[in-house]
Amino acid sequence: MIIDKKSQFHTTEELIIWLPRIIVIAVIAGIVFFLITMPIKQNFQIDKLQQGILMQRFVYSENCLAYKENDRIYPGIIDSNKFNDQNLRNCFQANNNVGIRLNLITNEVNTVNLNDRLTEKFDFCFDKKHFTCSNYNYYVLINDNNEIKTGLLNINMIKIK
């Protein structure tokens, strides 16, 4: 096989000339794309809104914690019998992106974690790029076997962005 050294030299020379040109074209194309897309970038941030809606489920839904008597639901009154792991896991089947810690504070503090894999990560809430966290206190009445007590329902929520 005969190799034409002269043509090999020309190919390498052409490549060296073209390489910076290609880089310059790629950079210009990138800048043009960036300048056009930057002002029309559409982004919906609904994490906090979603968390607000999900938190309210615990207080307002009869399936979660809301007290129900004679077909009437009492939003704001919590049925203490409903504050257990099994019931809360049923009414709030957290997907892999959401973790919740519920604290029902009366004379004692009862805690239920939903999705342990994420509730262990509350310490990382400072990382706003990857997590959205919310912490809200509901001042509630607690129906404890027909006896009404006052209490605080603290809901901590963490969501992967």
Please state, in angstroms and rounded to a whole number, the distance separating the CA atoms of residues 75 and 109: 21
Regarding 8 and contact with another protein (CB under 8 A), the answer is: no
Q: Which of 12, 23, 27, 37 binds another protein (CB under 8 A)?
A: 37
Q: Which of 80, 92, 133, 156 binds another protein (CB under 8 A)?
A: 92
Please state, in angstroms and rounded to a whole number, the distance separating the CA atoms of residues 51 and 5: 69
Regarding 15 and contact with another protein (CB under 8 A), the answer is: no
Closest separation in Å from C-beta 42 to another protein:
5
Q: Which of 19, 24, 29, 109 binds another protein (CB under 8 A)?
A: 29
Nearest to 60 by CA among 74, 48, 49, 50: 74
Q: In what order do the strands lie in the sheet with 131-144?
A: 66-69, 72-79, 131-144, 147-160, 98-105, 109-114
Regarding 49 and contact with another protein (CB under 8 A), the answer is: yes
The per-residue DSSP string of 57-85 comes to: HHHH-TTTTEEEETTEEEEEEEEGGG-SH
Regarding 46 and contact with another protein (CB under 8 A), the answer is: yes
What are the residues binding another protein (CB under 8 A)? 25, 29, 32-33, 36-37, 40-42, 44, 46, 49-50, 53-54, 56-57, 60-64, 66, 73, 75, 89-95, 97-98
